[in-house]
Structure 1
């Protein structure tokens, strides 16, 4: 159990750790700061870490900041993702990567208000943050409110100026969903896509179309929204004509709407129609009946990689202008072979 420093007691110093471990202060500094290139034996390192634990020693981050010229903080601006259970995982991933470097993330959820976003950027710059992350709820093109004179990385979005960005590989994700239903034996496939002017919509369709062409299959496409009502209404309309054997959905909420419509139409999933979602909103996908097969967007990895890119920029390293991270297919019970 970690020690809790009590009020009224002088906090232990690096000299105290050195004395208890029987090493020099410089050795303690090398160990606790994990400096590369230091030739510290494993036994010595273990003694130092045991002394740190016994004394409850904490690194003086203020002194470290003064020495390095860094504030050990980064700013992160978001547009509503902090309030979404799945999108908020981007923040969790960023925080995990930052904590590994003893860096604190200062979060500002600014919504879609450009004025608030610009004010938040200036407020973070006034606090001399070591870098900035911009993260959007929907993958696509954005425009930064101000040009920040500090290492900046875009997460789940990109701009025309070439600011380094980390985004999901939506083309790969679309292909992943299509190959899943093709491998299950489906040849009559419909995609309930999102809005046609969205970047992610075009990328997913590109991936799906490539996989379908390779299998000699033609897929149908229906454009609409990403919410439950959109999935429900489109499925009711589609049922007036020839039914597909598999429906791919632009989001898990669209898939929920499809399942509600199927139930109302006395059709069974997956016996009559298989359904595949997109996002892997676990609070939704896992509790549906049947549980939803879906493509998981790599939100945690987006946040982590964004922070890694930002620190690489801060260190003067060259980074890829755009990093694409692949999601994965989460197999559950809503996908099966077609009847007959």
Structure 2
């Protein structure tokens, strides 16, 4: 059945329905990874977005139990050039099971060229090439984070009772982040993003992790100042949206990138070692480098292609951040090793607290 991807400027790309055919609206983005399509579709950071895959063949290994980053696909829809594979574990059946629409047979190269040349843009799926749109989604809204966050705390025990306790503030966390902490020997409590700092502190955390998530980080501005007293005294790691939120909390600014960083091949330089890591990324916003007070922040990582801010360390408080996704570890162990650095810092602070 014919269907269309219609951009907000009226340009239309034709294809065929896959998954659950229905009209949907979202920001049209593209990701450059050659594998990992299931992880992409279930990454909560894609909430509110129509994801275009640049790799021409998607679905060739079906869907795999245990590979999802959340319970179900969180993206608004998917666009592929060619869909491969069928059967009960096929991608089209899986999308339909979860009520997610998609289009195949689309000229994805032309879609990507449009986004790269004109910048981030909204679009919709429709059976009508000239649909009527009554209102577009607003990225500057807390609804995107709220739609993917847990509603009540969830505790994940460690193998030993005296393990360091990490509170993961959930803006849309990926399961692999949680798994990295558990594999590092931590016990973890995942809490809703809207929990007040006083309730978080009552859990007696040894460390805090501000997770990834969807939307414009400035949607969190009404809440950022409340987290400052907490992170000033508890070792804290921020990833992706969490990195941006922590920068905002200490006076920096963020900006929308022309077309974002999404894929598993983004080169990031660690400035202290001059090593370049190939990282997994998914974000449409970045911390403005000229807004950073270098008396407050140390710039630890930068993007090789465009020089954007990829990592920060606070000069006074036990806070460091990464714009990329260290849990994906597509490249050297050093990228994934950021979790071990964080856990080591948490354990050291806990030992000081216990023994003085």
Higher helix proportion: 1
Higher strand proportion: 2
Higher relative contact order (CA 8 A, sep 6+): 1
Larger radius of gyration: 1
